[in-house]
Amino acid sequence: MTHVYEGSFDGRRLRIGIVVARFNESVGMRLLDGALDGLKRHGVSDDDISIAWVPGAFEIPLVAERLASSGEFDALVCLGAVIRGETAHFDYVAGESAAGISTASRKTGIPIANGILTTEDADQAIQRAGGKAGNKGFEAALAALEMANLLASLPKPSEGI
Ligand code: INI
């Protein structure tokens, strides 16, 4: 019998942490609206959602790692916007935030969805935060639910490996 592992989008009883950057705040707010909409539509209770605001995308991994290692969350969603036109250190901020999230997720075993936009300009960011290109916050929220449910269904790591 073939085993197929697939996570559902059922958010009931899942505890979700959201880390959102205040830099480019209007975009962050729209991503947050999208993420909350995605979580609530899939049954996540208000009481099971926590939100942490950080100054910018660069700070997201540290806070995500703290939340992920607390044992209080089944998955996290990270939200922010790094816009090339606005910074000389775009590559550092964009690269470090993505790499840091990935490291935090694998270190803690908690799924952390990356909803941090990296765009050439503000218009592209707005389009991806509830405009023509959808809402990446909503998409990241669904990825978090799917991964939380998938991980719960997978075999547990065996001792000593
Ligand atoms: N932070 C962002 O989230 N997006 C950006 O586009 C951005 N730019 O343009 O610089 C940005 N910079 C701030 C950075 O994330 C840190 O908060 C800051 O360097 C302090 O550590």
Q: Is the CB of 57 under 6 A from ligand 1?
A: yes
Mean pLDDT of all residues in 59-77: 98
Q: How far is the CA of 93 from the centre of ligand 1 (A)?
A: 6
Give me 37's structure tokens: 């909409």
142-153 pLDDT, tens per residue? 999 999 999 999
E-only strand ranges, the chain? 16-21, 49-54, 75-83, 112-119, 129-131, 134-135
Q: State the pTM of this model.
A: 0.96
**Catalytic-residue membership of 89:** yes
Q: How far does Cα 77 stand from its chain's mean position?
A: 2
d(CA 89, CA 23): 14
Tell me the one-letter amino acid at 88: A
Residue located nearest, by CA, to atom 21 of ligand 1: 58
